[in-house]
Amino acid sequence: MKAIQKIRDEHRSISAVLHGLKQLARDAQDPKVKPDFAVFRAMIHYIDEFPEKLHHPTEDNYLFPPIANRVPAAQKLIDSLRAEHKEGAKLIRELERALVLFEDSGAGAARKFVEAVDAYADFHWRHMRKEEQEILPLAEKHFSAKDWDMLNEAFDVNRDPIAGIREKDFSALFTRIVSLAPEPIGLGSRWKKAGA
Ligand SMILES: [Fe+2]
Ligand SMILES: [Fe+2]
C-alpha cells in the first residue's frame, strides 16, 4: 500500500512547512527582528501549490471515489473534505494578502499575519487529521486490488513526465525553504535584530 504511505508522507511535508511558517511568523512579531520575506513567500507558495497541483487532485480523483462507491455512509465525510480542498485555496489568498500588508506596512500588520497563519495551519491540520483518522482506514478496509492499482499508479509519477517534473519542482522548493529558513527551522542564518 505504497499510496497510503505516500499520502502520509505528503501530509508530513505540508505539516513541516506549516510548523516552520507558524514559528517564523511568531519570531517576526518582535519589532526588532528583520524578517526575510522570501522565506515566507517560498513557504506560502509551497503550501498553496503542492496541495493544489498534486496532493488534492490525487485524493479527489483516486482516493475518494472508490470509498464513496463502497461505503455510502462515508459520502458526507467525503463531501466535507472536497469542500475543504476548495476552502483551503480561499484561505491561502487571505494569507497572501496578510503577508503583502505585513511587508508593506510593517509591525502594525504583523499581528494580522500571524493570525492568518494560525488560522490556515489549524484548518489544514484538522483536514489532514480527518483524512488520516477517518478516510485512510476506510481505504485500507474497503479498497479492491484494482483500486490500489489505480491509486498507486496515480502516485507513480515517473510514468507521467509532466507530473514528474512538478514533483521534482516541489522537492526543489522544499529544499530551498530549508536552506533559506533561519535555524532552527532551516539551515539559514538567524534573522538580524535591530541594535543587536
Ligand atoms: Fe485533502
Ligand atoms: Fe490530504
Instruction: Give the predicted TM-score (pTM) of the model.
Output: 0.87
| Mean pLDDT value of segment 179-185 | 83
**Ligand closest to the CA atom of residue 136:** 2
Per-residue model confidence (pLDDT) at position 73: 96
DSSP 121-177: HHHHHHHHHHIIIIIHHHHHHH--HHHHHHHHHHH-GGG-HHHHHHHHHHHHHHHHH
- Which of 41-50, 51-60, 80-89, 150-159 has the weakest average pLDDT? 150-159
The upper half-sphere exposure of residue 63, i.e. CA atoms within 13 Å in the direction of its Cβ, equals 30
- Ligand 2 center–CA 155 separation, angstroms: 13
Map out the domains of the chain with their CATH numbers. Answer: 2-180 (1.20.120.520)
- Ligand 2 center–CA 32 separation, angstroms: 37
Per-residue model confidence (pLDDT) at position 158: 43
- Ligand 1 center–CA 79 separation, angstroms: 11
Residues with Cβ within 8 Å of 88's Cβ and at least 6 positions away in sequence, in order, are 51, 56, 120, 123, 124, 127
The pLDDT tens digits of the residues spanning 128-172 come to 999 999 999 999 999 999 999 989 888 775 445 555 656 777 777
User: For 182, which DSSP code?
Assistant: B
Give the number of other Cβ atoms within 10 Å of residue 119's Cβ.
14
The pLDDT tens digits of the residues spanning 68-92 come to 999 999 999 999 999 999 999 889 9
- Ligand 1 center–CA 103 separation, angstroms: 30
- Ligand 1 center–CA 195 separation, angstroms: 44
The answer on pLDDT for 66 being more than 50 is yes
Coil, strand or helix: which one is 190? coil
- Ligand 1 center–CA 173 separation, angstroms: 20
**Ligand closest to the CA atom of residue 14:** 2
